A and B are shown apart, each in its own frame.
Chain A
Amino acid sequence: MIFIYLRRVIRSGYHNFIRSGFTSIASVLIMTITLFVITSLIFIQASLNASLNDIKERVDVTVYFIPGAEVDEISEIKSSLEKLPEIREVYYTSEDEALKNFKERHSNDFLTLQALEELDENPLGASLNIKAEDPSQYESISKYIENDGTLSKGALTIIDKIDYRQNKIVIDRLNSIITGAQRLGFVVSLVLILISIIITFNTIKLIIYMSKEEINVMRLVGAGNRYVQGPFIVSGILVGVVASLLTVILFIPISIWLGNQMTDFLSLNLYTYYKANFFQLFVIMLASGMLIGGISSSLAIVRYLKK
């Protein structure tokens, strides 16, 4: 009995959806916008996360040694630093490498290169580039290095300068901007999604209201409430399904374009991200669409029938 009922209701809802042409298209469009907003917000969150990680990557502490410092002493310092749990990696640049890098950076600056020639010795010292696990730890790492005795005896004698203090302000600022953006982004996401759902719900409600005559005829002919409500709910779910398919397809060219043009800005190649997470994203869109469509329709039709 249930199967016959389900089959009839599904067939009825399907026919309603297909044959309503214009109004179905309107619902699908609104729902697509909603799903589009939801997916965009997922992308934005992913981008913000990637940006944060990027910052963590770019932020580092560089310890510059005086020219002529003993390589053994520098190695000692390097090993003791690597032992610290807060430190992720330590990169060593020798004096010669430093000179080579300098020459490359200034390859077009003839005057500077000439000035370099005038000098007999390499004016540059070796350096250690330290990357921490978390940007918030640079402060303590910096302090640790500056403290005479904790690193190694006489370490401070060969250290020229520590390039962190200068960047500290910038690093902190960037950190707080991005964390703030993440929090704000989350709240804005929720609000936008809520607004979209409300708009979709109202659109479906209006459409059901437009079917007033039809609903009255169905009741006149003796159809019970479930028989009247069922097809509308099925139509609503179908709207969600079609809208999610549309959204998925829409995002393909968008993500390609963003992947090509905006990877630097977003710290993330959206096309790659989209491809990698395609299945999960599609499921999220499909489930959201079906849920919003189904629930909107059932709320709308049940309230209408109560009158």
Chain B
Amino acid sequence: MNFEIIELGGIIRPMIYFNNVTKKYKDSSSLEDISFSITEGEFVSIVGHSGAGKTTLAKLILAEERPTSGTIFFESTDIHKLSTKDLIKFRRKIGVVFQDFRLLPNRTAYENIAFAMEAVGKEDEEIMQDVPHVLELVDLASKAFHFPHQLSGGEKQRLAIARAIITQPEIIIADEPTGNLDPMNTNEVVNILKKINDLGTTVILTTHNRGVIDQIKKRVITLENGRVVRDDKDGKYML
């Protein structure tokens, strides 16, 4: 089934496996017959023009949408066959970062991150220990008690990343995380994501930003009109 893994020695586990996935919306087709797999610890960038299907892909992985045909596996489970309870557990293994940040506006940076932990039922002591750590990691320690509207775009995204990683997910999906940021902030965010990946988390990033791809220099899957047209181990931005 998956010859790649056998090639690489068979020790590395496939984490996410798309098997002939198609997603149609009403009259248009968003994704057509997509197949690929992502192994644990990889950093994969998915590129394509706007409308190529990148965000749809992210939604499918999160099980926010169902594929019209085909299956998506997480480890060895079909994610669209999960019960509601298991779905919640599954989603807790994934941290998500969006282009529009999606922070809670009435809470401070600290509280935004703490909320993610409260939502999964962590104890106060654990929260008080972990949150400052993660704020340090994204270099927002000095702004712990600022509100989102008091932060710059780059800081907001770093906060969103901090929230995404606080529950120690196995995968981070970043959907156009640098879309609303200037080049310097883009740089910072990408660096943080690389740092997170170095620590062992699988990162899936979607983007149409050339600079980002060239900075990362890792695997790139290129989508065009809903199909995978390239899958490069040492990706270069080629559209």
The answer to whether B106 touches A220 (Cβ under 8 A) is: no
Whether a CB of chain B sits under 8 angstroms from the CB of A173 is: no
The answer to whether B163 touches A15 (Cβ under 8 A) is: no
Q: Chain A interface: which of B17-25, B71-79, B97-105? A: B97-105
A213 CB contact (under 8 Å) in B96, B102, B116, B147: B102
A15 CB contact (under 8 Å) in B102, B106, B124: B106
The answer to whether A217 touches B88 (Cβ under 8 A) is: no
Interface residue count on the B side (C-beta < 8 Å)? 21
Residue-by-residue, is A203-234 near B (CB-CB < 8 Å gives 1, otherwise 0)? 00000000001101110111110010000000
Whether a CB of chain B sits under 8 angstroms from the CB of A303 is: no
Give the residue among A4, A217, A218, A227 with the most B Cβ atoms within 10 A: A217
Closest to A16 in B: B106
Note all chain A residues with C-beta closer than 8 A to B103. Answer: 217
Note all chain A residues with C-beta closer than 8 A to B163. Answer: 221
Note all chain A residues with C-beta closer than 8 A to B147. Answer: 19
The answer to whether A218 touches B115 (Cβ under 8 A) is: yes
Whether a CB of chain B sits under 8 angstroms from the CB of A8 is: yes
Note all chain B residues with C-beta closer than 8 A to A108. Answer: none
Whether a CB of chain A sits under 8 angstroms from the CB of B143 is: no
Whether a CB of chain A sits under 8 angstroms from the CB of B118 is: yes
The answer to whether B105 touches A214 (Cβ under 8 A) is: yes
Expressed in whole angstroms, the Cα–Cα distance for A227 and B106 within the complex equals: 16
Expressed in whole angstroms, the Cα–Cα distance for A216 and B91 within the complex equals: 14
The answer to whether B115 touches A20 (Cβ under 8 A) is: no
Closest to A219 in B: B119
Residue-by-residue, is B101-113 near A (CB-CB < 8 Å gives 1, otherwise 0)? 0111111000100
Expressed in whole angstroms, the Cα–Cα distance for A4 and B105 within the complex equals: 23
Expressed in whole angstroms, the Cα–Cα distance for A19 and B107 within the complex equals: 8
Residue-by-residue, is A19-44 near B (CB-CB < 8 Å gives 1, otherwise 0)? 11000000000000000000000000
Expressed in whole angstroms, the Cα–Cα distance for A96 and B86 within the complex equals: 100
The answer to whether A223 touches B105 (Cβ under 8 A) is: no
Whether a CB of chain A sits under 8 angstroms from the CB of B217 is: no
Whether a CB of chain A sits under 8 angstroms from the CB of B120 is: yes
**B97–chain A nearest beta-carbon distance, Å:** 11
The answer to whether B102 touches A223 (Cβ under 8 A) is: no
B116 CB contact (under 8 Å) in A15, A214, A221, A224: A221
Residue-by-residue, is A235-249 near B (CB-CB < 8 Å gives 1, otherwise 0)? 000000000000000
The answer to whether A221 touches B107 (Cβ under 8 A) is: no
The answer to whether A224 touches B119 (Cβ under 8 A) is: yes
**A16–chain B nearest beta-carbon distance, Å:** 6
Expressed in whole angstroms, the Cα–Cα distance for A224 and B119 within the complex equals: 7
Closest to B113 in A: A221
Closest to B103 in A: A217
**A151–chain B nearest beta-carbon distance, Å:** 81
Whether a CB of chain A sits under 8 angstroms from the CB of B218 is: no
Expressed in whole angstroms, the Cα–Cα distance for A217 and B106 within the complex equals: 12
Expressed in whole angstroms, the Cα–Cα distance for A218 and B120 within the complex equals: 11
The answer to whether B119 touches A221 (Cβ under 8 A) is: yes
**Residues of B with Cβ closer than 8 Å to A?**
88, 91-92, 96, 102-107, 111, 115-116, 118-120, 123-124, 147, 163, 167
**Residues of A with Cβ closer than 8 Å to B?**
4, 8, 15-16, 19-20, 213-214, 216-218, 220-224, 227
Extra contacts, 19 of them, besides A222-B116, A223-B119 (Cβ < 8 A), are A4-B123, A15-B111, A16-B106, A216-B102, A217-B102, A218-B115, A218-B119, A220-B102, A221-B115, A221-B119, A221-B163, A222-B91, A222-B92, A222-B119, A223-B115, A224-B88, A224-B119, A227-B118, A227-B119
Q: List 14 A-B contacts (CB under 8 A).
A: A4-B123, A4-B124, A8-B118, A19-B147, A213-B102, A214-B104, A214-B106, A217-B102, A217-B103, A217-B104, A218-B115, A221-B119, A221-B163, A227-B119
